[in-house]
Chain A
Amino acid sequence: MALSDFSILDSRRADDLGEYRRQLNAWLDEHADDLAPTQAAPTLDEHMAQMQRVKKRLFDAGWMRFGWPERVGGWGGSAMLRTELGAVLSERELVDPGKFSLIEVLAPTLIDFARPELAADVVPRLLSGEEMWCQGFSEPNTGSDLASLSCRAVPDGDAETATTWRVNGQKVWTSLAQYSERCVLLTRTGPADSRHRGITAFFVDMDTPGVTVRPLEMINGVREFAEVFFDDVPVPTERMLGPRNGGWSVAMSILPYERSSCFWQRIAYLYKRLERLVEAAPKDDRSAEVVGDVALQLHALRARSRATQHRLASGATLGAETSIEKVLLATAEQALYDAARRLLPGVVEFDDDPVAESWRTEYLYSRAATIYGGTIEVQRGIIARRLLDLGTEP
C-alpha cells in the first residue's frame, strides 16, 4: 500500500483520529482471518510469535509507521495514532497490551537518547516485529526505589575516552528477556551511593558473551519475566543512551509514555474483558451491580486517561499527577478480575477449558497491578507529598 492511499496523511487531517480508526478497522476486518491467533489458549512462545507476526503485517501495510518520526522509518503524525493502534489491536484481542505496548516504553528511549544512526537502524526492527527488546531496570534489591540500583558498568580505561564498558551485575523482573535481541539497561557508573546522579543507560545486545537469561515462572505459571545476569559483558561506548551518568533522565523519560499510551491500550483491553464477562455472567441483579461497578471505575479511568493524553499532545509535561491514573488503573483492573471470579463461580479455580485458562491467568496476573511500575503505596506517597503538599515523611 502506498502512502498516498491514506487520505489521513493529508496534512490537514494527519491528526484525525476518527478517520484513522475507521480506516484501520476496515483494514483489520479485511485481514481478520490472516491476523487471528491460531491457538485458543496459546503458550507464551506461540503468543510471542503471534504478536511479532501481527506487527510485521501492520508494519508492511503501514499502520505501525503512523505516529513515529520519519528518521526512524515512521510516517509522522500525532503519537495518539499509535496509541489508537494499540488500543484497537487490544480490543480485538490480537495482541496482549502489556507486551505490545512495550514498544511505547522502548522505542521513544532510542529515538530520544541514542545516536541518530543507531536509532534509525534499530527502531524499525522493533516496529516491524523483526526484533524484541527488553528493559533492564529492576534488580533484586531495587524495586520501587529505582535510584538504588547497583548493576555496575566500568570503562575499559579512562571514562572520557574508553570505547568499551564492562557490565557486571543482575537484573530481575525483566519482561520477555528470553525473547529479546536487545536490552535498554540501567547501570551504576557513579559511586555506590550516588543514587540518581550516577546512573548510565546502555543499549545492549543480548547475544553478547556474558549475558545469561533465566526465565522466572510467575504466579500464573507463565514465564514472562526473567533474571538477567551480566558477567563482564563488553558494551561499546557508542551504545550509551544519553550522556554518562545521565541515565536517570532516560528512565524518567519513559513515564509519560507508560502513563499515557500504555495505559490507554490497557484500558481498551480491560473494556474488552469486561465485555467478555458481561456475555458470560448470569443475567441477574447481582451481576448487574458488580459489572455496573466495574464499568463505572473503567469509565472514570478512561476519562482521566483521555484528558492526560490530550494534555500531553498539547505539549504539557507529565509528572506526579499521573500517579492518580496509576492508582485508578490498578484498582479498576483488580476490581474487574475480582468481578470475574465472583460472577463465574469455579471458573478461575476449577475449570480447564481455554476460556477458563485465560480468566485464571489474567486473574492471577492482575494481582501485580498494584505492584509493578511503582507500588500503589509509592503512588500514594507521591500523591501525598507532591499533589497534596503534605511534606515529607520523617
Chain B
Amino acid sequence: MIDAAERGLFEESVRTAFARAAGERGAPVDGALAELGWLELLAAEPADAVAIVFRALGSAHATASALDDVVASALGRGTSAEVAVLLPESGASDPPGRTVGDRLRATGLATARVDTAREVLVPVGTEGGTNLVLVPAADARVAPVRGIDPEAGLRAVTIDLDPGAARAPDVVDWEEGVALARRAISHQVAGACRAMLELARRHALERVQFGRPIAQFQAVRTRLADALVACEALDAALAAAADESGPATAALAKAVAGRTARTVGAECQQVLAGIGFTTEHAFHRYLKRTMLLDGLFGAADDIVLSWGRRLLDGGQVPRLIEL
C-alpha cells in the first residue's frame, strides 16, 4: 500500500488531469492516465491504482480503456495499448470465448482500444480452465454499442476463426481477472454515486420552494441521508475487498455497487426533480453510466442470486472478514 500522503497527491493529480481531459462530456482520458504513470502504479500497487483511478473515472464521468489494463495485469499479462482485451458480454462474467469444433468463437465487449490495437486478447473458457488467446485485431468484427450510454464508448465484438490464426494460448486464473475488474468497476460506480449525491445535495441547498431551500424539508433530507448510507456501505464493501482480496469479497462489492447505484440514482433523481429529468443537467450521464456498469462482469441481481445459491448449498454463511 502507498502511504496516505502519496495517495492524496496521486488522487489530486488524477482528479485534475481527468477534469481537464474529460470535460463535461467525458472524453477519453487515456493520454492523461499514461502521463500519470497509471500502468506503473497498477503493476506495483494494483489495489491502490484501481481504487484511485476508477473512482476518479466515475466522478469525472470520464472514459478510458483502463479496464483492459486491469484485466490483463490481473491475469498476469503485460499491458499494452497495442493489445485490447475482450471483456464478457453484458450481464456475463464468464470468459467471452469458447472453442466450437475447430473454431474459436467469442462474443463480448471491448473498450475503444480495440479500434487501434493490433491484437485482441481473448479469454477462452475450456474444460481445463481459461486460456488466453491472442487474435489479430483484423479478425474481430467490431460495432459501436449505443445503448443507454453511447458516451461510454463500448464496442460489441465477435470473433469466429480458425485457431491457427491465433497466437499460442496460455492458461490463466480467470477468477483473478474477474475479481480485480469487479473491484475496479465498483470503484467507478462509487465515484459516480458520490457525484450524483453531490449534485443533488447542492441542488437541495440552492433550490427554493415555498420560501425556503428544499434541503430544509425532512422528506428531502431523508432521501439524501439514505443515499449517503448507501455510498458508505459501498465504500466499506470495497475496503473489505481490498483487505481480504479474493473472488467472494470482490463479487459482493460489485453487488453492493449495483444496489448502491440503484438507491443513489433513485433518491437523487427525485431530489433533482424537474432539472434532473433534462439532459441539460449532468445527472443523467452519471445515472446512465451506473446502469451500464451494473451489466459489466455480472449484475448485482445475478451475483446475489448465485451467492444465495451457494449459501443454500453449503448450509452456511461465510463471514469473509474478521475483526
Candidates B204, B255, B305, B321; contact of A303 at CB < 8 Å: B321
Interface membership of chain A positions 299-324, coded 1 if the CB is closer than 8 angstroms to chain B and 0 otherwise: 11111101101000000000000001
Q: Is B71 an interface residue (CB 8 A)?
A: no
Q: Are B323 and A274 in contact, with the CB atoms below 8 A?
A: no
Q: Are B317 and A275 in contact, with the CB atoms below 8 A?
A: yes
Q: Are A295 and B225 in contact, with the CB atoms below 8 A?
A: no
Bound-state CA distance A328–B234 (Å) is: 12
Stretch from A125-133, A200-208, A384-392 forming part of the interface with B: A384-392
Bound-state CA distance A175–B303 (Å) is: 40
Bound-state CA distance A288–B259 (Å) is: 17
Closest to A281 in B: B312
Q: Are A80 and B204 in contact, with the CB atoms below 8 A?
A: no
Taking the closest CB of chain B, its distance from the CB of A339, in whole angstroms, is 10
Q: Is A289 an interface residue (CB 8 A)?
A: yes
The range of chain B's interface size is 35 or more
Q: Are A383 and B229 in contact, with the CB atoms below 8 A?
A: yes
Find the residue from B252, B316, B317, B321 having the highest chain A CB count within 10 A.
Answer: B317
Q: Are B232 and A304 in contact, with the CB atoms below 8 A?
A: yes
Closest to A381 in B: B221
Candidates B218, B305, B319; contact of A285 at CB < 8 Å: B305
Q: Is B222 an interface residue (CB 8 A)?
A: yes
Bound-state CA distance A368–B323 (Å) is: 27
* Residues on the A chain within 8 Å of B266, using CB: none
Contacts A380-B221, A383-B228 known; A278 to B236 CB distance under 8 Å?
A: no
Q: Are A384 and B252 in contact, with the CB atoms below 8 A?
A: no
Bound-state CA distance A394–B215 (Å) is: 10
* Residues on the A chain within 8 Å of B317, using CB: 271, 274-275, 278, 295, 298
Q: Is B33 an interface residue (CB 8 A)?
A: no
Taking the closest CB of chain B, its distance from the CB of A182, in whole angstroms, is 30
The range of chain A's interface size is 35 or more
Bound-state CA distance A390–B217 (Å) is: 10
Bound-state CA distance A387–B194 (Å) is: 13
* Residues on the B chain within 8 Å of A295, using CB: 307-308, 311, 317
Tell me the chain B residues, 189-246 only, with Cβ under 8 Å from chain A.
Answer: 201, 204-205, 212-213, 215-216, 218, 221-222, 224-226, 228-229, 232-234, 236-237, 239-240
Taking the closest CB of chain B, its distance from the CB of A25, in whole angstroms, is 12
Closest to B222 in A: A380
Q: Are B312 and A291 in contact, with the CB atoms below 8 A?
A: yes
Find the residue from B221, B225, B305, B319 having the highest chain A CB count within 10 A.
Answer: B225
Contacts A288-B312, A296-B255 known; A390 to B204 CB distance under 8 Å?
A: yes
Q: Is B304 an interface residue (CB 8 A)?
A: yes
* Residues on the B chain within 8 Å of A18, using CB: 322
Count A/B pairs, Cβ under 8 Å.
148
Q: Are A328 and B312 in contact, with the CB atoms below 8 A?
A: no
Closest to A264 in B: B323
Taking the closest CB of chain A, its distance from the CB of B68, in whole angstroms, is 29
Closest to A21 in B: B322
Contacts A21-B322, A264-B323 known; A292 to B308 CB distance under 8 Å?
A: yes
Q: Is B256 an interface residue (CB 8 A)?
A: yes
Q: Are A393 and B216 in contact, with the CB atoms below 8 A?
A: yes
Q: Is B25 an interface residue (CB 8 A)?
A: no
Q: Are A390 and B221 in contact, with the CB atoms below 8 A?
A: yes
Q: Are B212 and A306 in contact, with the CB atoms below 8 A?
A: no
Candidates B224, B232, B308, B323; contact of A324 at CB < 8 Å: B232
Q: Is B309 an interface residue (CB 8 A)?
A: yes
Interface membership of chain A positions 58-91, coded 1 if the CB is closer than 8 angstroms to chain B and 0 otherwise: 0000000000000000000000100110010000
Q: Is B168 an interface residue (CB 8 A)?
A: no
Q: Are A296 and B204 in contact, with the CB atoms below 8 A?
A: no
Bound-state CA distance A393–B218 (Å) is: 7
Q: Is B315 an interface residue (CB 8 A)?
A: yes
* Prevailing SS type, chain A contact patch: helix
Q: Are A306 and B312 in contact, with the CB atoms below 8 A?
A: no
Q: Is A279 an interface residue (CB 8 A)?
A: yes
Taking the closest CB of chain A, its distance from the CB of B278, in whole angstroms, is 24
Bound-state CA distance A274–B323 (Å) is: 19
Q: Are A303 and B240 in contact, with the CB atoms below 8 A?
A: yes
Taking the closest CB of chain A, its distance from the CB of B157, in whole angstroms, is 31
Q: Is B44 an interface residue (CB 8 A)?
A: no
* Residues on the B chain within 8 Å of A327, using CB: 225-226, 229
Q: Is B36 an interface residue (CB 8 A)?
A: no
* Residues on the B chain within 8 Å of A17, using CB: 322-323
* Residues on the A chain within 8 Å of B228, using CB: 324, 383, 387-388
Q: Are B234 and A300 in contact, with the CB atoms below 8 A?
A: yes
Bound-state CA distance A278–B320 (Å) is: 17
Q: Is A290 an interface residue (CB 8 A)?
A: yes
Q: Are A288 and B305 in contact, with the CB atoms below 8 A?
A: yes
Find the residue from A275, A300, A324, A391 having the highest chain B CB count within 10 A.
Answer: A300
Taking the closest CB of chain A, its distance from the CB of B73, in whole angstroms, is 25
Bound-state CA distance A327–B213 (Å) is: 26
Q: Are B307 and A307 in contact, with the CB atoms below 8 A?
A: no
Taking the closest CB of chain A, its distance from the CB of B148, in whole angstroms, is 24
Bound-state CA distance A306–B205 (Å) is: 33
Q: Is A293 an interface residue (CB 8 A)?
A: yes
Contacts A292-B311, A306-B323, A327-B229 known; A384 to B222 CB distance under 8 Å?
A: yes
Bound-state CA distance A385–B220 (Å) is: 12
Q: Are B221 and A384 in contact, with the CB atoms below 8 A?
A: yes
Q: Are A290 and B308 in contact, with the CB atoms below 8 A?
A: yes
Bound-state CA distance A80–B323 (Å) is: 8
Candidates B216, B229, B313, B322; contact of A391 at CB < 8 Å: B216
Residues of A within 8 A of B (CB): 17-18, 21, 80, 83-84, 87, 264, 271, 274-275, 278-279, 281, 283, 285, 287-293, 295-296, 298-304, 306-307, 309, 324, 327-328, 377, 379-381, 383-385, 387-391, 393-394
Residues of B within 8 A of A (CB): 201, 204-205, 212-213, 215-216, 218, 221-222, 224-226, 228-229, 232-234, 236-237, 239-240, 252, 255-256, 259, 301, 303-309, 311-313, 315-317, 319-323
Cβ contacts A to B, 7 pairs, < 8 Å: A288-B312, A296-B307, A306-B321, A324-B229, A387-B228, A390-B221, A393-B221
The 5 closest A-B pairs by CB, nearest first: A292-B308, A288-B308, A384-B221, A303-B240, A304-B236
